[in-house]
Amino acid sequence: MIRFISDPEHGVFTAEASGSLVEIISEIGLCVNTAYNLIRSRNPAAGQAFKDAIQFSNRPDSPVWAKEDVPDPQEGIKIVRVMDFGKEGAHG
């Protein structure tokens, strides 16, 4: 189960993930696939731009992979539970 809500206008950010790594990755993939197909169905060029940007943002040197401690949000929740993967490693 994943749930990410980002609403900067109201100062709300919620990040939750629970399940096995395969389940979490599959759900993120499904979200990307759904967003891509919604965009592509309305504007094929925008769909391709979205796909290109997602692929670019996931390169090994992308800031997506920068390791940092994630502070607890002022409002909302931050929960991550990876099941069946052993002990969680230290961040940083």
Residues 65, 90 contacting (CB under 8 angstroms): no
What angle (nearest 5°) sits at the alpha carbon of residue 43, between those of residues 55 and 63? Answer: 25
pLDDT tens digit sequence for 59-69: 999 988 888 77
Estimate the share of the chain in helix, then strand, then coil, as percent rounded to the nearest 5: 45, 20, 35
pTM given for the model: 0.68
Domain ranges of the chain: 2-82
Residue 64 gets which letter from DSSP? G
Residues 82, 22 contacting (CB under 8 angstroms): no
pLDDT tens digit sequence for 67-92: 877 666 666 555 555 566 555 454 44
